[in-house]
Amino acid sequence: MSADLNRPAAAALRLAVDRFVGQEATPQVCVRIKKAFIQIMREQFGVDWPARVADSGLVRRRQETEPPYPAAPADAHLIFSHFRT
């Protein structure tokens, strides 16, 4: 991600997560946070997030031998610690 997107992305992520504080951390809530983040980036910062990230070269296609999702880090519970579980 280019340096010019760091602050807007951080602000958008904070706003998106704040919308769902207190809800149970389920996969559906995570998807809604992602959608809210993309919407905030588009509406408040004028960034077409999926296209911008795809063009940056930061996203690569998953190899056939890779699992569909990486294993969660040992401290993953800290990421969602402010959600009700």
* pLDDT one-digit tens code per residue, 47-71: 887 766 655 555 555 555 555 555 5
Q: How many CB atoms lie within 10 A of CB 37?
A: 19
Q: How many CB atoms lie within 10 A of CB 79?
A: 12
In 3D space, the residue among 77, 85, 83, 81 whose CA is nearest the CA of residue 19 turns out to be 83
Query: Which helix (H) or strand (E) element contains residue 42?
Result: helix 27-45
pLDDT band of 27, cuts 50, 70, 90:
confident
Distance CA 20, CA 1 (A): 25
Return the structure tokens found at 15: 């706003």
The distance between the two most distant Cα atoms of the chain, rounded to a whole number of Å, is 39
Domain boundaries, the chain: 1-57
Q: What is the pTM of this model?
A: 0.58
